[in-house]
């Protein structure tokens, strides 16, 4: 399938696919989603990456074939399928001057209905086809009440191996995110303090916003985003904990699935796209209150058999979610 795509019993030339993203943060969810989709689709089609933001990350530009749209140099998308992921084309001049796309797809990964309106109400002068909407969780689709196909954010789960038995040491709870204040809930500071007082070790990558809120402790590690690649960082945990601030809701939560791919029991707030795939007490845990989270973590601390059983089911869940058959079906949507 590298050179041609088989459709309806006939081989046809591969369709050019253009992926658009801001590419501002090497650790951003939509940035990573775009890069993984590029990797997967490149097996079947020619795929190009385009930065829509002037604040594109230099690190990403160095490591990936990301292009800047340049009208003077006529370095622009030249037709085919245009896929916007967490970015849009409104209020820019270049969409009116470049070749018309054959298909227009918008991967919507936030909870801002205004952006849907911006991307689905096409200016008459633009003349582009109607946008096809892709959502990244059923949770997101229910809350927004919009129509669209649901494709979980693609993750290469083969990077994440089953966590090996760790040598003797304190029960370790950790989490992973960007260094953004809204990635942390105000009630998590007292929770971490209680865990530390109970002999638990706490490791937080993306924890710089907490540096002035948590007192230094020998079992506390606050690491900057990107200190370790996720697959290495997660191997040092016994349980994964996740909750964001009260004014942010995760549409998907790829870090949760990465932790599940490592065979870790995940303990997550019930409001998030990941919750659709977590069966409480079987392949992970969901909580509503800080007290509930504390109780779940206390049970996991004293029960390694429970940790192993839930972690195994967690790994099996992501293996099904990102199976070759499931990925193939999602990729075929872009290759039509």
The Cα–Cα gap between 78 and 61 comes to 21
- Provide the CB-side half-sphere exposure for 253 (13 A, CA): 32
Which CA distances in Å does 322 have to 39, 84, 136?
A: 15, 22, 13
> What is the pLDDT, as a whole number, of residue 166?
67
> What is the pLDDT, as a whole number, of residue 235?
94
Instruction: Set out the domains of the chain in order of their start, with CATH numbers.
Output: 4-154 (3.40.50), 158-321 (3.40.50.2000)
CB of 214 within 8 A of CB of 193?
A: yes
**130-160 burial by CB neighbour count: b if 16+ within 10 A, else e?**
ebbbbbbbebbbeebeeebeebbbbbebeeb
Confidence of residue 91 (pLDDT cuts 50, 70, 90): confident
Q: What is the pTM of this model?
A: 0.90
Confidence of residue 20 (pLDDT cuts 50, 70, 90): very high
CB of 142 within 8 A of CB of 271?
A: no
- SS3 of 21, please? strand
Q: Is the pLDDT of residue 8 over 60?
A: no
CB of 202 within 8 A of CB of 174?
A: yes
> What is the pLDDT, as a whole number, of residue 293?
98
Q: Is the pLDDT of residue 163 over 90?
A: no
Q: Is the pLDDT of residue 196 over 70?
A: yes
Q: Is the pLDDT of residue 115 over 80?
A: no
Confidence of residue 165 (pLDDT cuts 50, 70, 90): low
The Cα–Cα gap between 205 and 228 comes to 8
Q: Is the pLDDT of residue 131 over 70?
A: yes
CB of 82 within 8 A of CB of 23?
A: no
Residue found by looking up tokens 């303090």 in the block: 193
Confidence of residue 167 (pLDDT cuts 50, 70, 90): low
> What is the pLDDT, as a whole number, of residue 248?
85
Q: Is the pLDDT of residue 21 over 70?
A: yes
Q: Is the pLDDT of residue 331 over 90?
A: yes
Confidence of residue 1 (pLDDT cuts 50, 70, 90): very low
Task: Kindly report the average pLDDT of the chain as a whole number.
Answer: 91
**Which tokens is 212 given?**
């002035």
The Cα–Cα gap between 28 and 169 comes to 32
**Which of 63-67, 111-115, 265-269 is predicted least confidently?**
111-115
More confident residue, 10 or 307: 307
Q: Is the pLDDT of residue 218 over 80?
A: yes
Q: Is the pLDDT of residue 243 over 50?
A: yes
Main-chain dihedrals φ then ψ at residue 308, nearest 5 degrees:
-65, -40
Q: Is the pLDDT of residue 319 over 70?
A: yes
Please compute Rg for the chain using Cα positions. Answer: 21
């Amino acid at each position: 399938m590298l050179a041609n795509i088989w459709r309806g019993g006939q081989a046809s030339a591969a369709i050019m696919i253009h992926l658009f993203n801001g590419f501002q943060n090497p650790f951003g969810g939509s940035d990573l989603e775009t890069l993984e989709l590029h990797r997967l689709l490149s097996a079947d089609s020619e795929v190009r990456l385009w930065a829509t933001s002037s604040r594109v990350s230099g690190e990403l530009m160095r490591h990936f074939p990301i292009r800047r749209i340049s009208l003077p140099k006529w370095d622009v998308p030249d037709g085919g399928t245009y896929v916007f992921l967490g970015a849009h084309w409104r209020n820019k001049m270049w969409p009116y001057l470049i070749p018309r796309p054959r298909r227009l797809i918008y991967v919507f990964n936030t909870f801002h209905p205004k952006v849907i309106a911006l991307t689905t109400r096409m200016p008459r002068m633009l003349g582009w086809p109607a946008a096809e909407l892709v959502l990244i969780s059923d949770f997101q689709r229910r809350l927004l009440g919009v129509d669209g196909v649901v494709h979980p954010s693609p993750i290469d789960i083969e990077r994440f191996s089953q966590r090996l038995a760790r040598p003797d040491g304190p029960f370790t709870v950790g989490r992973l995110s960007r260094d953004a204040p809204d990635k942390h809930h105000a009630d998590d500071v007292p929770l971490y303090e209680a865990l530390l007082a109970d002999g638990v070790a706490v490791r937080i990558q993306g924890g710089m916003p907490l540096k002035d809120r948590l007192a230094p402790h020998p079992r506390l590690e606050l690491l900057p985003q990107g200190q370790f690649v996720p697959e290495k960082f997660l191997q040092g945990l016994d349980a994964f904990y996740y909750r964001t601030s009260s004014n942010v809701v995760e549409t998907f939560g790829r870090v949760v699935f990465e932790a599940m791919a490592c065979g870790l029991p995940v303990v997550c707030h019930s409001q998030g796209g990941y919750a659709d795939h977590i069966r409480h007490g079987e392949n992970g845990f969901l909580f509503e209150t800080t007290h509930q989270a504390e109780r779940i973590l206390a049970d996991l601390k004293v029960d390694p058999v429970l940790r192993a059983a839930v972690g195994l089911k967690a790994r099996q869940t992501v293996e099904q979610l990102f199976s070759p058959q499931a990925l193939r079906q999602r990729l075929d949507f872009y290759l039509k």
